A and B are shown apart, each in its own frame.
Chain A
Amino acid sequence: MSGVQSRVTENWHQLGNLYLRKFDFYEMAWMDMFDMDKSMVVPAPFGGYIAVVVDPNRLSESDRELGTVTQDKIHLYRPTGTPTALVKWDGGTVAGMGWTQNEELMVVSETGMMKKFDLFGRSKIQPQNILPQGQGRIQEVQFFQNRYGTGVACLTTTILFCYCTNINEPRMKSASLAALPETTRRLDCWLPVEILDTVAILASFNGRLYSLTVDTSEEIIVKTSCPNEPRWERMALSIKTESTSQKLALFNSQQGWLWMGDISAPHRQVDLEVSLSKTKRDSPPSQICWLAADAVAMSWEHTLLVHSRRGEDWVKYTLYGAVVLLPEVDGIRILHPDRHEFLQRVSTVSVQVFQTGSIAPGGILNDALKLYSEKEGHKADEYIRLIKEKSETEDAIKQCISAGTLEIDPEVQKSLFLSAAFGKSFLGGETISDDLIKQFMSSCKQLRVLNNLKTAEVSLPLTYVQLNTLGLPELILRLIRRKMFFLAHHIASYLEIPAGLGTHQVLLEWASLKLQQQEPDEVIAQQILSKFRDTPGISYSYIAEKARSVGRPDLATLLLEEEASASEQIPLLLDMGRDEIGLDKAISSGDPDLVYSVIFRLQKKMTRGDFLLAIRNRPVARNLYLDFCKKQERTTLYNLFQQDDMFLESGMMRVEETLDHEIQEERKKLLVKARSDFQSGGCALSISLSEDYIRLYEKQRELEESLGNRFNMTGLSVTDTLEKCFIHHRAKEAEYIRKEFRISDNQFYWTKIKTLAALHDWAELDKLARSKKPVIGYEPFVEVCLKNGSLGEAMKYCQKIPLDSRAHAYIKCGAYREAADVAFQCKEIGILETILQKCGNDRALTEIVRQQCEALAQKV
């Protein structure tokens, strides 16, 4: 175990308060394939491919004479140095190359032609010209990432900068120094840069720094203590991250002056200025770049010099030949002719864990396990106690896990995870948080994936930090681009990436490739479906749409059959002209909204006849459409009713419509129509019901006229009309209605007393009560009197009510005393109790009722 520790720390180099370390990803297979000195080598970040082309500018005279050196081939290498693809280039001299975020190779010729290639060296789109007319040739090209995507910036021979922020829609903008005096036009170095949301060109002329955009050229004052105003010959920007601000480094070789500061405030924010007199060079470095945001690395032919941002410390590495530096988010990739190397800063947590004598909990835990495995149990116990006392066990475990993820050697990773697991067993009393377990598990899984990606077969060398910057879905995309579908599928399900970004996407992309093969539709469909079947929720419609777009509609139909999501499937079915299948699918989904969406689409695209035919035999669709018509298209509704012999529905609709009309005549007309509907439908009851009202409306009109049109009888029922007759003393009409509509005695009588009471015609009411014993009894009399506010009248009728139900009537009148007496007579102890509850504050009454209760109780 101690071997591990020393193995880890032995290649650490101190840089101020930081440590640097360097390790090999691969030995390069390209060793003898080309001369790095004489080539343009452009690697893609995140362990992507490397594009290589001969650079005529760097060829010596003798080279030129030796053979025909043309740039008609661009080689693509994997990160292991294995050649993988060849790009045929017919654009003349290459001015520059670069990679987009989606791993497309961009090549720009001196004449301004820009072309895009995929990882297999194929060009999919037409070349574009990015050189404005009359600007000579392109001298230099730089690609850069910004908020709009991948941008490109060029410097022309006329010292004009032209740039665009997104190469997919290249609208070139030009920026120049036209406003500056002629003499200052000596360009030293330049960079495209994004400061505060604006993309600009940062250019150094004669020791002055300018920020140029289309319409502004602003001088940037750099605060420096350099005695002679230095001419900045090299500049570098750190990679933008969320946590740190973007840093700028400037270098001047004559004075050996290195300036480092904040890009957004160079006049204020100086991190460090150093005179590199000790390493003063005759020439500026061939490359300069930031190591994360912590240090700046510069390469000369035989030296790589790394200078820390804080603290005047530096580390020097010896180089054996030309190298290419590629800044990554957590370090620098160094491509040698023989090695693929990575230089990074040792992270704080690794230092905490590995540094000898560390007192960080992670370090102690790691040591404890070491002691334990060396059979020094008691010492290990002491160490653990140390952590537990401060209840830092969880922190210790987390530190070990984090440090583990940052290691590249699987043995070291394992030992750190063992330490973490060891620590977990001491969490005893404290509960192990879900977070911790999740972190442990997911870190383990990701490391397994990373170690596998690094193998030569896959050759996608990433660090843990890079993977997390890239994101897991993007990793899957990268594997898909390399056509490593099987691996991508495995990783996606192993890391539980959401299906849409993971397994589904892999399968869909795989299937899209399948579609382009020249086999029969059935065979391909079978192959695709056999893979899709175990993946619930995958979008069959997506792949069907693809099949359709590559001109295989039959294959599309076969695939679409399997689509479970009706809302995905249906629009496509309709697009393909399979309307009725689409409608059926919508119906079977059980979602009325979906059915409506199809109905409306069909209505627009089909002829009226076809449309009606289509929905006619589908009850759900038909009912929904009828419902819609009912709300918005009444005429259509009645037409449909007529066509389909839906007489009852038609009649009902007309009855409903009568209620919207205020004029009796209109109502009658509708009712007549309704009756004829009911007649056609043979609905006997409805016919007679509507007939009743047609006759009633006629009678009502007569009445209205005879009453001088003062009374609107619209909407009155037979009974209501009867009531009106009583109110207006139309005995004859009342009698007519009674006969004509066979009003029962009950109802007739009831209506009459109701009206009399409402008119306060107590005398007439009395007469009615006396004339003969009313069919409805006397309770209604009490009720109507009370309702019309005459308690006296009500009490009068109470006496006429038979004894056994009289008590309730009295209660209604609030005459509890009388009610109690009656109840007592009838021996209704229940009613007495009810009365007792109602007596409330009337003490005397309460007493009487109570006595009555007791008396009754005794009798029983």
Chain B
Amino acid sequence: MALSDFGSILVKRYQSELLSILSQFDAPMDLVLEKELSSFIDQISPIQFLKSHGVEKIFYLEPEMNVGSDKRVYLIRPIGSNINKICRHVNYDLDQNINRNYLIIFVPFKTILCEELIESYALLDFVELHEWHIELIPLDSDLLSLESSHSLKNYLINECSSMPRLVASTLYTLFQVNISNQFHLHLLGEQADKVFQVFNYLKSMPLANKPIVNRCYFTDVILVDRNIDLITPLLTQISYEGLLDDIFGVQHGSVNLTEKVTGKSKPTKLMLNSNDPTYSQVRGYHISFLFSFIKDQSKKLIYKYDKGRKQTSISEMKSFVSELKTLKPMEQSLVVHLCACEFLKDVRSTPINQKLLSLEHALLSREQLDEKALVKFFESLLSFQVSWKDILRLLCLYSLLNPAPTKERIKILNHIEKQFIRAHGCGHINTILNLQELGLLNPQDEYVHMCQMGIKKLGLIPKVHKTDSVDLSNPIDTSFVFGGAYKPLSCTIIENFLKQGNWKLGSELLASIKFRITTNLISKSKCLAPEKSGKMAHKQYLVFFLGGCSYSEVNAIRFLGNQLGIEIGIATTSILNRDSIFQSLDDYIV
């Protein structure tokens, strides 16, 4: 019933699908993995699991490969560069008269382009193609993700993204396993409309022969197009979870902490989900809160250890020893989080990072900025060794939030853009042009206007804004995810709906950028049963972000759920941090 159970059922389904593909090969076989997929695969089918099902050795996909057994399985995303490498391997083997069987498993599906590419090497007869249909994977008990960040740029810019199709088929799966016979589908933005179009198309198709297990229950699904809120994913996150992602990069619900962070001899993999009692309590909060929390916890631990030492009777000793089992991992978890926290705090408190953050907050609060000083500041950023992503990020925020007349704004932007290109090379001309097309740099007036209006009408920027005066451990609204400086626009539109019961304000807002919000009743049975008040009283929401969302948004939604006492599940196409958009624009530079 709960989303968490549903998540584990999904994982089991993926596992059995993989096994049925692998079973076409007799053991032993080699598995060649695209490196970017490795932690993703680890989440679903750990190496141990693969090894117990016939996989002997595991390699990463490299341009050259001339070892291994006579059966080889490739596990890749449908990307041209992967295909090129594989074809090179096969051709090498053919030249050397090595007899080998090849199986290519595409995640989550193969494409005609890939087939065409293989055929252009005339190798289609030598390889066997399969698909491993992975849709949502659970990152936490209330969080599911498609983890398809590589298509972000396509999604945001091109019209030829496969995202609507992927989301629609995911939605269709959710529709099939949903226990309630009907649910409301709320569409926020253009991409949501597209998904709905494809969803309708899928719904009219014959049922695929998937075993249908009713496992999931929701009454309302809210599809949120990332394009309605491009500000939030640009902001520096200040919650523990957000910082971990901004600074270390969280991958599929876990993070790798280097030796530098933990002081240990090996990198540590830290799973980030609600199974970790420490983490589940602190992830949403500012790291300063974390320190006091850990202090409290360690005191409790010490107390328990002390108490244990003083035990004299055998039965008391016994119960203490059995308790030790839980105390030890608790202690380890506290230590790791403390190390991570310290590191994050150090990174945050460097003067340059402080400056960047204060500029960000100044932009948010729309203080009247001295234009000259601003230009100076950007110039100095170019000289300091600040990452190009940070500079562009701030530049985008400036252009989105600055209410100054367009002409003036563009003049300043162009000046800084020129300086930027001079410092970072001419390849970035495209980055700039792409950002313009995205509407992040030189955005259309309507969008800036919408942001202004949103700030005014939805109160995105709380009136009393002093970081110190906001009680971050006991927040009153969603602005806590940005230290009291800003309420995420996307979440606030949803909040408004949840509280008012209609999309009136949200619709007005989005109408100014020619987006609309519609609600559709989706039903399994042909005849619509009248809504039974008793049965439907229990509302369960699912918020689905198209184009990704940040951990800050996840936290904001969680907070809303707790505040309003309703259950809200979160699904997303991927997890974003402040660098994601720029990373996806950059994939051709490296």
Q: Which of A29-37, A572-580, A681-689 contacts B (4 or more CB under 8 A)?
A: A681-689
Q: In the complex, are the beta carbons of B198 and A589 less than 8 A apart?
A: yes
CA distance A780 to B195 in the complex (A): 51
Q: Given A659-B427, A685-B414, verify A743-B384 contact (CB < 8 Å).
A: no
Other-chain contact of A746, B342, B383, B414, B417 (Cβ < 8 Å):
B383
**Closest A residue to B419 using CB positions:** A744
Pick from B109, B162, B425: contact of A715, CB below 8 A. Answer: B425
- A564: which of B116, B162, B205, B384 is its contact (CB, 8 Å)? B205
Within 8 A of B (CB), among A628-648: 628, 631-632, 648
Contact indicator per residue, chain B 87-122, by CB within 8 Å of chain A (1) or not (0): 000000000000000000000010111001100100
A512 within 8 Å of B (CB atoms): no
| Smallest beta-carbon distance A697→chain B, Å | 9
Say yes or no: A749 contacts B383, CB within 8 Å: yes
Contact status A743-B425, CB under 8 Å: no
Contacts of B197 in A (CB 8 A): 588, 590
On chain B, the residues within 8 Å of A834 by CB distance are: 349
Contact (Cβ within 8 A) B165 A590: yes
| Cα(A717)–Cα(B160), bound, Å | 33
CB within 8 Å for A744 and B383 given contacts A565-B206, A648-B433, A656-B588: yes
- Are B380 and A593 closer than 8 Å at their CB atoms? no
Closest to A597 in B: B112
Whether the Cβ atoms of B427 and A658 lie closer than 8 Å is yes
Q: Mark B158-199, 1 if CB is under 8 A from A, else 0.
A: 111110110010000000000000000000000000110110
What residue in chain A is nearest B442 (Cβ atoms)? A685
How many interface residues does A have (CB within 8 Å)? 65
Given A565-B205, A692-B421, A746-B383, A592 and B426 contact (CB-CB distance below 8 Å): no
A92 interface hit (Cβ, 8 Å): no
Q: Which of A334-342, A488-496, A618-626 contacts B (4 or more CB under 8 A)?
A: A618-626
Given contacts A619-B159, A717-B423, A780-B384, contact A688 B204 (CB under 8 A): no
Within 8 A of B (CB), among A540-595: 564-566, 588-593, 595
Q: What residues on A are CB-neighbors of B158 within 8 Å? A: 623, 627
Determine whether the beta carbon of B201 is less than 8 Å from that of A564.
Answer: yes
Contact A717 B426 (CB under 8 A): yes
Contacts of B160 in A (CB 8 A): 592, 595, 620, 623-624, 627
Is A353 engaged at the interface, CB distance under 8 Å to the other chain? no
Assuming the A-B contacts A536-B204, A692-B421, A776-B380, are A631 and B113 also in contact, with contact meaning beta carbons closer than 8 angstroms in the complex?
yes
Q: A746–B351 contact, CB under 8 A?
A: no
Beta-carbon contact of A593 and B120 below 8 Å? no
Nearest B-chain residue to A718, judged by Cβ: B422
Q: Which residues of B contact A776 (CB under 8 A)?
A: 380, 383
A747 touches B383 (CB 8 A): yes
How far does the alpha carbon of A781 sit from the alpha carbon of B293 in the complex, in Å? 39
Beyond A592-B165, A593-B112, A632-B120, whether A746 also contacts B421 by CB under 8 A is no
Query: Which chain A residue has the least Cβ–Cβ distance from B161?
Result: A592
In the bound complex, CA of A808 to CA of B348 (Å): 13
Q: Which chain B residues border A750 with CB–CB below 8 Å?
A: 383-384
Asked if B80 is at the interface of the complex by the 8 Å CB criterion, the answer is yes
Using known A-B contacts A655-B430, A689-B421, determine if residue A564 contacts B380 with beta carbons closer than 8 Å.
no
How many angstroms between the C-alpha atoms of A680 and B113 in the bound complex?
32
Chain A residues with CB below 8 A from B432, complex form: 685, 689
Give the chain B neighbours of A659 by CB distance below 8 A: 427, 588-589
- B418 close to A (CB within 8 Å): yes
Set of chain B residues within 8 Å of A619, measured between Cβ atoms:
159
A689 near B159: Cβ-Cβ < 8 Å: no
- Distance in angstroms from B119 CB to nearest chain A CB is 11
> Does A837 have its Cβ within 8 Å of any Cβ on chain B?
yes
Please state if B113 and A590 are interface contacts (CB–CB under 8 Å): no
The residues in B between 195 and 223 inclusive whose CB is less than 8 angstroms from any CB of A are 195, 197-198, 201, 204-207, 209
Chain A, residues 721-759, CB within 8 Å of chain B (1/0): the string is 000000000000000000001011011011100000000
Contacts of B422 in A (CB 8 A): 692, 717-719, 741, 743
Interface contact A718-B423, CB-CB below 8 Å: yes
Q: Would you call A596 and B426 a contact (CB within 8 A)?
A: no
By CB atoms of chain B within 10 A, which of A539, A565, A716 has the most? A565
Q: Is B476 positioned at the interface, with any CB of A under 8 Å from its CB?
A: no
Within 8 A of A (CB), among B367-392: 376, 379-380, 382-384
Check A500 for interface membership: any CB of B closer than 8 A: yes
- A538 nearest in chain B by CB position: B206
User: What does the 1/0 interface line of A648-688 toward B look like (CB < 8 Å)?
Assistant: 10001001101100000000000100000000000101101
B433 pairs with A686, CB closer than 8 A: yes
A808 to B350, CA, bound (A): 8
Min C-beta distance of A562 to chain B, whole Å? 10
Q: Does the CB pair A600–B116 fall under 8 Å?
A: yes
Contacts known (A685-B417, A776-B383); A500 close to B165, Cβ less than 8 A? no
A717 touches B424 (CB 8 A): yes
B27 at the interface (CB under 8 A from A): no
* B429 interfacial contact with A, CB 8 Å: yes
A805 interface contact, C-beta 8 A: yes
- How many Å lie between the Cα of A741 and that of B589 in the bound state? 23
Q: How far is the CA of A575 from the CA of B546 in the complex (A)?
A: 36
Specify which of A564, A593, A718, A747 is in contact with B204 (CB 8 Å cutoff): A564
Nearest A residue to B197 via CB reads A590
Min CB gap B221→A, angstroms: 18
Chain A window 681-705, contacts with chain B (Cβ cutoff 8 Å), 1 for yes, 0 for no: 0010110111011000000000000
Q: Which residues of B contact A692 (CB under 8 A)?
A: 418, 421-422, 426
Residues of A within 8 A of B414 (CB): 685
Residues of A within 8 A of B164 (CB): 590
Contacts of B589 in A (CB 8 A): 659
B201 to chain A, nearest CB (A): 6
Given contacts A564-B201, A590-B197, A685-B414, contact A690 B429 (CB under 8 A): yes
Cα–Cα, bound, A744→B116 (Å) = 50
Indicate if A311 sits at the interface (CB-CB under 8 A): no
Q: Are A689 and B205 in contact (CB under 8 A)?
A: no
Cα A589 to Cα B165 in complex, Å, equals 8
The answer, yes or no, to whether A149 is at the interface (CB within 8 Å) is: no
User: A499: CB under 8 A from chain B?
Assistant: yes
A837 with B342: CB separation less than 8 A: yes
* Complex: chain A residue closest to B352, CB-CB: A779
Residues of A within 8 A of B120 (CB): 632
As a 0/1 sequence over residues 335 to 356 of chain B, the CB contacts with chain A under 8 angstroms (1 = contact) are 0000000100000011100000
Complex CA gap A685/B379 in Å reads 18
Given contacts A589-B201, A627-B158, A627-B160, A537 and B206 within 8 Å (CB-CB): yes
* Chain B proximity of A249: nearest CB distance (Å): 43
Bound: A779/B427 CA distance, A: 30
CA–CA, A319 and B206, complex, Å: 55
Q: Which residues of A contact B430 (CB under 8 A)?
A: 652, 655-656
Closest to B424 in A: A717
When distances are taken between beta carbons in the complex, the residues of chain A under 8 Å from B349 are 834
20 A-B pairs within 8 Å (CB atoms) are namely A499-B207, A504-B206, A536-B204, A538-B206, A588-B197, A590-B197, A590-B198, A592-B161, A593-B109, A596-B111, A627-B160, A631-B80, A632-B117, A652-B429, A652-B433, A692-B422, A717-B423, A718-B423, A719-B382, A747-B423
Interface residue ranges, B against A (CB under 8 Å): 80, 109, 111-113, 116-117, 120, 158-162, 164-165, 168, 194-195, 197-198, 201, 204-207, 209, 342, 349-351, 376, 379-380, 382-384, 414, 417-419, 421-427, 429-430, 432-433, 588-589
Known: A536-B204, A624-B160, A689-B418. 14 other contacts (CB 8 A): A500-B206, A565-B206, A588-B197, A592-B111, A593-B112, A619-B159, A659-B588, A659-B589, A689-B429, A690-B426, A692-B421, A741-B422, A746-B376, A779-B351
A residues with CB within 8 A of B:
498-500, 504, 536-539, 564-566, 588-593, 595-597, 600, 619-620, 623-624, 627-628, 631-632, 648, 652, 655-656, 658-659, 671, 683, 685-686, 688-690, 692-693, 715-720, 741, 743-744, 746-747, 749-751, 776, 779-780, 805, 808, 834, 837
Among all A-B residue pairs, the 4 with the closest Cβ atoms? A537-B206, A750-B383, A590-B198, A564-B204
